[in-house]
Amino acid sequence: MSDTSELTLYYAPRTRAFTALWLLEELGLPYRLESFDIQTGRHKEPDYLALNPMGKIPLVLDRGVPVSELGAIAIYLSDRFPAANLGAALDAPERAAFLRWVFFSSAIMEPALGEKFFKWQIPARAVAWGSFDQMLGVLTGALERNTYLLGERFSAADILVGSTARFGQMFGVLPKEGVLGEYTARLSEREAFKRATAIEMREDARFPLARS
């Protein structure tokens, strides 16, 4: 049996670390939450940079081994704890689709959202993410055919893509209605999502934003 007593999540509210928090709640395993106020710059201190030289959050420690970048965290934890059924086995037919959607979140969605929000004028052929319209078309097309990204089964890919979609909706870049709105609403009904949201609200209250 895998030892889960040394799982630690470095986390700050109001950041992408919520995605990893939700992932850990979906795993249903014990973990330690190292929560801090991002305004303090804790993630830029030498001991933290020794674990993650990029100085970003989230960061997961598993038995002292640091795992950074949300895509890597999702794949690592899904593979390490297969009983949670959040990933796809190496020889499973859906493994390729699982990996594709995990990386779709950071490699395609995030820069495409930046393109739309900041009004970047970049030829689609010049960037790896293509274009915002292409990203949205591919995502909504997949969700028109399936309940989740892998079909009828929820996976860690939905945690990453769903979190990014909610981020885009909050900033008015992605639609809150239609197939995408139905998808994020469906995800928000999951018990693990509700638990993660309650933790986020608790930690947000601990570390309120500084007011000028």
Every domain range in the chain assigned CATH 1.20.1050.10: 95-190
Do residues 66 and 59 touch, judged by C-beta distance below 8 A? yes
Torsion sign, CA atoms 78, 161, 72, 56: negative
Do residues 25 and 200 touch, judged by C-beta distance below 8 A? no
**146 closest CA partner among 188, 179, 178, 109:** 179
Select 7-85+193-206's CATH number: 3.90.1150.10, 3.40.640.10, 3.40.30.10, 3.40.1360.10.
3.40.30.10
The CATH code belonging to domain 95-190 is 1.20.1050.10
What digits encode the pLDDT tens for the residues 105-135?
Answer: 999 999 999 999 989 998 888 888 999 999 9
Query: Which residues, 6 or more positions from 168, have their beta carbon under 8 angstroms from its beta carbon?
Result: 109, 113, 174
CA–CA separation, 191 vs 197, rounded Å?
Answer: 10
What pTM, to 2 d.p., does this model score?
Answer: 0.94
What digits encode the pLDDT tens for the residues 201-211?
Answer: 999 999 887 54
Every domain range in the chain assigned CATH 3.40.30.10: 7-85+193-206
Local confidence pLDDT in tens for the 212 residues of the chain: 344 458 999 999 999 999 999 999 999 999 999 999 999 999 999 999 999 999 999 999 999 999 999 999 999 999 999 999 999 999 999 999 999 999 999 999 999 999 999 899 988 888 889 999 999 999 999 999 999 999 999 999 999 999 999 999 999 999 999 999 999 999 999 999 999 999 999 999 998 875 43
